[in-house]
Amino acid sequence: MFKVVLADDETIALEGLRTLTDWEELGFEICGACENGEEALSMVEECSPDLVITDIRMPGIDGLELIKQVRDLDIEQPIFIVLSGYGEFEYARTALRYGVRHYLLKPVIDAEWEKALADITDELEMRAKHKMQQDMLASRLLPVAIARMLEGQWTEPEEEIAELMDRLDEAVSGWTYIHVNGPKCNITEICRKFAGVVGALFIDLPGDQAGLVVESSARAAELARRVYTELSRNSVKGYVSIGPNVQSLRELPVAYMLAAGAAARHLFYSEASGPIDATLDARSQLSYRLPSADLTEELMGAVERLQEQKAWDQLKEMFSMFERNRTAPEVVQMTSIDIMLKSMELVKEFGGKAEQWSDSFEFFRTKPKSLAVLEDILRQLLNSCMEYIKQHKERGSEHPLIQVEYFLKDNYSKPLTVKEIAEHFYINPVYLGQAFIKKNNISILEYIHNLRIEQAKKRLIETGETVRKIAENVGYVHYHHFLREFEKRTALKPVAYRNQAEAEKG
């Protein structure tokens, strides 16, 4: 969010600036509304705003003096909009001399105001993008390049990075990669902290993993011990593994694969009591034998026939076998994905949609996990599958209005009319509308709005999606229609609802 400070000695005018624009919608946060120049100057020093909107005539420090003093501050300079009820040329000329490009006369014309804000927003976005690029070039270019190499996104770095890597390789005897698994926010903070202390490179990786690159194996062992100790001291469940020494930064992907593999194996089968040496761990034997096809088929057959206890017994037997045989993590993941895909096919056979499990697929494919976590996730997935099959079988014998409710819960995000719903169930639309109100005390359209807003509330709390994106995802074509229906049911605007939910979570 960009920050804006408002300054006007007239209370009514100041309140008008607050309400003249939907600041949040434009991406601005009002960090100060000041009634004089001294207060505005203090607020600018405190919060370093991106935009300052000021009146000319104010007691004490007027608008032009405020701009002059801000220009002398050692901060990233904000953009100014000068508002004045006076059209004298001298004010405008002085403002221009201070670098002000937006000088508007009161009362402000809507078109001029909107044009000025649009231009300023574009300029601020370009400024933010340029700053981000400069920061990357100054301090993040090499770590980002290494992260992309480790993720397999390229095999040969760009010329500028390649030259930097060559110079660094010539200056040291070798490199060691340290791999860290654990909750993302915790390991990122710890790795950044130690990277700065010992001069290592912090490598930000996707998922619950991060890396450190240090220039000698001796230093790597000490650094790995310090990171592991810090994880333990903060009660963070994580693993630290040390890859083999390599001569060149270009060879780090090999070290990464060995270190990450060692961490994954320990995550599955043992409690580490310190950093894991990937070179020694690679000698331990793992089984790459898949479970029998009969075991998987019996499991899915029990799910299809809703034999819950038998399904859980089969699943437990499978994971006990994995533990006894020390089955390789990638084989366990492959088997888990196979069970998930079979579950999705089973749901489709009963007329359902399995898109809801797409996140589970990514989890099985990429997330480091233990046998216990994987078994629990599969248990939840199979339970959902059986619940759907059970509901499907029950729907066939239920009253048509209950079937309509199921239909609405599955399709609320689509553009629906009472006529289309009635045609789908071969019911007279007038009868359907009246019968639905009699049963549920609300109309079909209100019922759809309730479903949409409930889903929107959930997304506001659980995701970082924009309000406009959420509105589209739950089925609203017109944004303002969504805002009206949301506020009608919650007495809050979406952003306020999200902020309140975050505050309640602490």
Query: Residue 27 in 3-state DSSP?
Result: coil
Q: What pLDDT digit, counting tens, does each position of 176-199 carry?
A: 999 998 888 899 999 988 887 777
Strands 176-181 and 209-214: antiparallel
Which string of b and e fits 237-262 if b means at least 16 CB within 10 Å? ebbbbbbbbbeebbbbbebbbbbbbb
Q: Predicted confidence band at 132 (pLDDT cuts at 50, 70, 90)?
A: very low
pLDDT value for 135: 42
Strands 276-277 and 239-242: parallel
Among 28-32, 198-202, 237-241, which range has the highest average pLDDT?
Answer: 28-32
Question: What average pLDDT does the segment 370-391 reach?
Answer: 85
Q: Predicted confidence band at 406 (pLDDT cuts at 50, 70, 90)?
A: confident
Q: What is the mean pLDDT of the chain?
A: 85
Asked if residues 215 and 114 have their Cβ atoms less than 8 Å apart, the reply is no
Angle between helices 37-47 and 63-71 (to 10 degrees): 30
Q: Predicted confidence band at 136 (pLDDT cuts at 50, 70, 90)?
A: very low
Structure tokens at 67: 């701009």
Residues in CB range of 403: below 8 A, 6 or more apart: 395, 425
- Strand (E) or helix (H) holding 25: helix 23-26
Phi, psi of 417 (to 5 degrees): -125, 160
* pLDDT of 59 strictly over 90: no
Question: What average pLDDT does the segment 165-178 reach?
Answer: 82
Question: What average pLDDT does the segment 400-417 reach?
Answer: 87
Label residue 490 exposed, middle or buried (CB < 10 Å: 0-12, 13-18, 19+). middle
* pLDDT of 52 strictly over 90: yes
Which string of b and e fits 371-381 if b means at least 16 CB within 10 Å? beebbebbeeb
Asked if residues 117 and 110 have their Cβ atoms less than 8 Å apart, the reply is no
Between 214 and 157, whose confidence is greater? Answer: 214
Q: Predicted confidence band at 448 (pLDDT cuts at 50, 70, 90)?
A: very high
pLDDT value for 344: 84
pLDDT value for 343: 87
pLDDT value for 34: 94
Order of strands across the sheet that contains 201-204: 201-204, 209-214, 176-181, 239-242, 276-277
pLDDT value for 354: 62
- Reduced DSSP (H G I as helix, E B as strand, rest coil) percent helix, strand, coil of the chain, to 5: 65, 10, 25
DSSP 8-state code for residue 369: -
pLDDT value for 178: 94
Asked if residues 239 and 162 have their Cβ atoms less than 8 Å apart, the reply is no
Question: Comparing 33-47, 235-249, 361-375, which segment has the lowest mean pLDDT?
Answer: 361-375
- Which of 172, 211, 163 is closest to 190 using CA atoms? 211
Question: What average pLDDT does the segment 127-135 reach?
Answer: 58
Q: Predicted confidence band at 495 (pLDDT cuts at 50, 70, 90)?
A: very high
What does 57-105 look like in DSSP terms, one character per residue?
--SSS-HHHHHHHHHTSSSPPPEEEEEES---HHHHHHHHHTT--EEEE
* pLDDT of 218 strictly over 70: no
Question: Comparing 1-5, 64-68, 71-75, 459-463, which segment has the lowest mean pLDDT?
Answer: 71-75
C-alpha dihedral, 8 to 14 to 16 to 22, nearest 10°: 110
Sign of the CA dihedral running 210, 216, 220, 222:
negative
Order of strands across the sheet that contains 2-7: 28-34, 2-7, 51-55, 79-84, 102-105
Question: Comparing 39-48, 225-234, 288-297, 302-311, which segment has the lowest mean pLDDT?
Answer: 288-297
What does 400-444 look like in DSSP terms, one character per residue?
HHHHHHHHHHHHTTS---HHHHHHHTT--HHHHHHHHHHHHSS-H
* pLDDT of 286 strictly over 50: yes
pLDDT value for 133: 44
CA pair distance 6, 54, nearest whole angstrom: 6
Asked if residues 123 and 105 have their Cβ atoms less than 8 Å apart, the reply is no
pLDDT value for 346: 83
Q: Predicted confidence band at 5 (pLDDT cuts at 50, 70, 90)?
A: very high
Q: Predicted confidence band at 137 (pLDDT cuts at 50, 70, 90)?
A: very low
Q: Predicted confidence band at 146 (pLDDT cuts at 50, 70, 90)?
A: confident
* pLDDT of 377 strictly over 80: yes
Between 328 and 11, whose confidence is greater? Answer: 11
Query: Residue 239 in 3-state DSSP?
Result: strand
What does 155-207 look like in DSSP terms, one character per residue?
SS--HHHHHHHHHHHHHSS-BEEEEEES-HHHHHHHHHHHHHHHTPEEEE-SS
Determine the distance from the C-alpha atom of residue 492 to the mean position of all C-alpha atoms in its chain, rounded to a whole number.
24
Question: What average pLDDT does the segment 128-154 reach?
Answer: 68
Question: What average pLDDT does the segment 18-27 reach?
Answer: 90
* pLDDT of 417 strictly over 80: yes
Between 332 and 485, whose confidence is greater? Answer: 485
What amino acid occupies position 271?
E
- Helix ranges restricted to H, 272-428: 278-281, 293-304, 308-325, 329-349, 358-366, 371-395, 400-411, 418-424
Question: What average pLDDT does the segment 212-234 reach?
Answer: 86
- Residue 72 CB: number of other CB atoms within 10 A? 7
pLDDT value for 282: 56
* pLDDT of 395 strictly over 70: no
Question: What average pLDDT does the segment 348-361 reach?
Answer: 65
Q: What pLDDT digit, counting tens, does each position of 289-309 carry?
A: 888 888 888 999 899 888 999
Question: What average pLDDT does the segment 213-218 reach?
Answer: 77
Label residue 76 exposed, middle or buried (CB < 10 Å: 0-12, 13-18, 19+). exposed
